[in-house]
Every structure is written in structure tokens, then in C-alpha cells.
């Protein structure tokens, strides 16, 4: 029995050191060396003060900012520790009520708008953390943001176009606008 316990204990110790210490240290060191921004959360901000991550949505509700997709996380929006959708189906009364209240909030924020509201402005993404909106959702908000900032809609539209990202590698996903990047650009350019 002893002759089996000794090699098993040595193998346990070896693999504990290898997979529990050496490998994590090597991956952490490599990530910090090769991809420091991504390894530290892809943080964005100004004046050396982080304001958020470009990978996680932020809650914007003031009229002078573009608003992101609704978040389905709880207890607070865009909670990275509670990533996940609401799992409410299209006929669920809870989802229907939530979508109708979001439509009302958008209509109340810009009563002169009569266009159809893009679906990503009233429904959460699967993760509940999506930092992007569609170009249509950004275009829908241009008049409200321009009016709140006392800017011409064309200048805000030009900024939206500049911050519209193409498909990843030209084939994956759709064109999208990172809300935090766009709002930071608005603040830097017009304040």
C-alpha cells in the first residue's frame, strides 16, 4: 500500500504546483506582457481615471447621452456578477410590460419622434451586459442628444458615424456603436 501512496502523493504535489501555480502565473504574465489593456479589463476613461470598460455596458439616463440596451441583470443594471438574460419569452406579460414601459420612456424623452423604435432599445441582450447598440438605435437618439447639448444633429450624426464599428474581421456580427466610447467622445469634443 505504501508503494502506491508515495507515487500518488508525489504526482498530486507535482500537478498541484504545475496547474495550480506555474500555469496561472505563466498565463497572467503572458497576458500582462502581450495584452495589458485587455488583461486589465479594457478600461476607458479620461485624465487617468477609469470610467468603465468597453466590454460592459453602462447605465446612461440623462438626455445629453446616448442610452444603451436595457440590462436584464439584477439587482443593478450591467452587473457583471449576474450576467444573463431575463429568460422571459415573447408572450410573457412581464417582458411585454417591460418593453412597453421602455417604449413609453423613449417616447417621453423625445415626444417629437414618430419613427419606429429599434428593437435593441427596448430588449436586453442575452448577457444583459452588451455595451453596443445598433447604428439604427444610435440614429434614433441623435435628435434628443443634439437638442440636449445644443448641437446640430449633423455634428452628432458625424460623431456616431465615426464611432460605428464594422463587423468583426469583416464577417462576424453586425455594425455596432459602443455607447461608452461615443458618450466619452461627446464629452471630450463638446465640453
pLDDT at 47: 60
CB 10: neighbour CB atoms within 10 A? Answer: 10
- 176: nearest Cα among 188, 167, 187, 189: 167
- Alpha-carbon distance 65 to 61, whole Å? 7
pLDDT at 159: 94
158-167 LR contacts (CB < 8 Å, sep 24+): 159/185, 159/186, 159/189, 160/135, 164/135, 164/138, 165/132
pLDDT tens track, the chain, 191 positions:
788 898 899 999 999 999 999 999 999 999 999 998 888 878 887 667 888 888 888 888 899 999 999 888 877 888 877 777 777 788 888 888 988 999 999 998 888 888 899 999 988 888 888 899 999 999 999 999 999 999 999 999 999 999 999 998 988 989 999 999 999 999 887 66
Compute and round to an integer the Cα radius of gyration of the chain: 23
pLDDT at 153: 93
Domain positions in the chain: 1-40, 42-190
pLDDT at 136: 95
pLDDT at 2: 81
User: Burial level of 186, CB count in 10 A (0-12/13-18/19+)?
Assistant: buried
- Alpha-carbon distance 184 to 5, whole Å? 61
Question: Is the Cβ–Cβ distance between 127 and 84 less than 8 Å?
Answer: yes
Stretch (H or E) spanning 44? strand 43-46
CB 68: neighbour CB atoms within 10 A? Answer: 27
Question: Is the Cβ–Cβ distance between 137 and 121 less than 8 Å?
Answer: yes
pTM of the model: 0.79
Amino acid at each position: 500500500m505504501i508503494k502506491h501512496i508515495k507515487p500518488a502523493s508525489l504526482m498530486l504535489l507535482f500537478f498541484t504546483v504545475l496547474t495550480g501555480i506555474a500555469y496561472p502565473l505563466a498565463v497572467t504574465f503572458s497576458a500582462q506582457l502581450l495584452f495589458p489593456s485587455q488583461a486589465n479589463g479594457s478600461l476607458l476613461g479620461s485624465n487617468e481615471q477609469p470610467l468603465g470598460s468597453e466590454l460592459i455596458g453602462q447605465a446612461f439616463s440623462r438626455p445629453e447621452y446616448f442610452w444603451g440596451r436595457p440590462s436584464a441583470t439584477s439587482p443593478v443594471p450591467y452587473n457583471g456578477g449576474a450576467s444573463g438574460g431575463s429568460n422571459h419569452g415573447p408572450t410573457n406579460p412581464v417582458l411585454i410590460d417591460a418593453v412597453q414601459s421602455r417604449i413609453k420612456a423613449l417616447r417621453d424623452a423625445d415626444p417629437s419622434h414618430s419613427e419606429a423604435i429599434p428593437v435593441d432599445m427596448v430588449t436586453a441582450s442575452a448577457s444583459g451586459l452588451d455595451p453596443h447598440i445598433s447604428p439604427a438605435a444610435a440614429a434614433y437618439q441623435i435628435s434628443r442628444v443634439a437638442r440636449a447639448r445644443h448641437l446640430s444633429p449633423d455634428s452628432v450624426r458625424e460623431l456616431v458615424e465615426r464611432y460605428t464599428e464594422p463587423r468583426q474581421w469583416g464577417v462576424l456580427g453586425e455594425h455596432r456603436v459602443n455607447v461608452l466610447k461615443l458618450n466619452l467622445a461627446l464629452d471630450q469634443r463638446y465640453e
